[in-house]
Copies of this chain bind each other. A is one copy, B any other.
Amino acid sequence: MSGYVRTLAERARAASLILAALDGAERAALIAAMAGQLDARSASILAANAEDVSRGEAAGLGAAMLDRLRLDPQRLAAIADALREVAAQADPLDGVTRSETRPNGLVIERKRVPLGLIAMIYESRPNVTADAAALCLKAGNAVLLRGGSEARASNAAIAAALHAALRERGLPEAAVSLIDDTAREHVLELLQLSDLIDLAIPRGGESLIRFVAEHARVPVVKHYKGVCHLYVDRAADPALALDLLVDGKASRPGVCNALETLLVHRDIADAFLPQALAALAARGVEVRGCERVRAYAPDLAVADDADYAAEYLDLIIAARVVDDLDQALVHIAQYGSDHTEVIATADPAAAEAFVRRTRSSAVMVNASSRFNDGGQLGLGAEIGISTTRLHAYGPMGVESLTIERFVVRGAGQVRHPESQHR
């Protein structure tokens, strides 16, 4: 270990104490100032990004990766606007969450405080550098950022803008600390710093997240994959179910809240499957089906265990006819990823059984899986979607970057009467 990351983290930790003492208006003004600096420095940020992109092209990065990496004036303006939206959100630290007066007169308040120092470990998207910093700062945290090597120049240029805003407001640059050296050993060092880092959030592909989970001595909130199911109940409106299917699979197949498996109650298969298969085919979606699905379209490939477990992130869907709700629930328990499950049904009892017996972070009754998103669920911007069943579950907004603690206000109360002198 070089000690380079520890030194950065110690400075960021010291800065976190200063941030925690700011009030909500000061934190909002800081984030707005950061947006202003991104605008003011757009030329240098775009130049740095062009450097990353041409290096990526020379290295043979794929088109999707290059697209995630590339900034243009519109994209950069959108990043600055997203920061202004975070600045305008309600202060997550404001006020008292709960308050109770005990029989002995003690007033027990619960108040949200920042987590402290948050480490973000992410891949190619340079917007994460600004977004994650803004969300962490909004909740009074310092942040330690480690982006991907392919976005190194872009990240450094964005961080320089954020640092300018910190200086402008008389605050330590270390509040947003960038690990500007993408050697993997630095990630390993970071993950050991359990005395300094309160939470690590990996964002990226499954292999990055597994690497972090494998090596972390610091708490981690993970988002693995989204193997999201649509269950079409026998009491479903077939037209409504079709909308949910097409929206969930075809509107944006590469995202984690896209559908990956369709489960159809056998009693509605005749009324639903022929039009569903036609609609999917019309949108270029490949269906891999069980034997009962293939009865409607014998040319389809056979779905196997690997298909039911797959997060395709592509125009492919696994499809299975089930005997009843119970069989659908057993399928989801076996193959699901705790991300998002959808039921289409007009039967309230089936809906309640589905809600109660799935354990995923979001369950949708007659609504598209694509709504599992911080903005769509009313959280504002999100820093990730947790499939860890601890601290936060589902989309994580700024509130997920805080923790409730206890403030007790008394008039000299003691637990043991013998301690009383007055």
Contacts and interface: CB of A to CB of B under 8 A. Distances in A.
Interface of A: 17, 20-21, 100, 102, 106, 108, 113, 115-116, 194, 198-199, 213-214, 217, 219-220, 237, 239-240, 242-244, 246-247, 250-252, 279, 333, 351, 355-357, 359-368, 370-372, 376-378, 388-395, 403-416, 418-422
A413 B378 contact: no
Nearest to A333: B17
B365 A421 contact: no
B240 A416 contact: no
Contacts of A393: 403-405
B243 A115 contact: no
B409 A243 contact: no
Contact of A116 (B21, B244, B359, B362): B359
B372 A414 contact: no
Given A20-B359, A251-B415, A359-B113, A390 B403 contact: yes
Contacts of A361: 405-406
Given A17-B333, A100-B378, A240 B362 contact: no
Contacts of A106: 367, 371, 376
Nearest to A362: B406
Contact of A414 (B219, B244, B363): B244
Contact of A421 (B17, B243, B360): B243
Listed from nearest, the 5 A-B pairs whose CB atoms lie closest are A367-B410, A247-B419, A247-B414, A240-B412, A251-B416
B251 A414 contact: yes
A363 B214 contact: no
A356 B395 CA distance: 28
B407 A355 contact: yes
B246 A419 contact: yes
A108 B406 contact: no
Contact of A219 (B100, B355, B388, B421): B388
21 contacts: A20-B359, A106-B371, A106-B376, A213-B217, A219-B219, A219-B388, A240-B412, A244-B414, A247-B414, A359-B405, A362-B405, A363-B408, A367-B410, A368-B413, A370-B415, A371-B410, A371-B415, A392-B403, A393-B404, A393-B405, A394-B405
Nearest to A353: B21
Contact of A390 (B390, B394, B414): B390
Nearest to A363: B407
A370 B407 contact: no
A105 to B, nearest CB: 9
- Of the candidates A217, A219, A361, A411, the one having the most CB atoms from chain B within 10 angstroms of its own CB is A219
Contact of A367 (B356, B395, B409): B409
Contacts of A242: 421
Contacts of A414: 243-244, 246-247, 251, 368, 370
- Of the candidates A21, A409, A415, the one having the most CB atoms from chain B within 10 angstroms of its own CB is A415
A390 B239 contact: no
Contacts of A239: 421-422
A329 to B, nearest CB: 9
A247 B410 CA distance: 14
Contact of A422 (B240, B367, B389): B240
B390 A199 contact: yes
Nearest to A20: B359
Nearest to A111: B355
Nearest to A219: B390
A378 B391 CA distance: 21
A178 B391 CA distance: 26
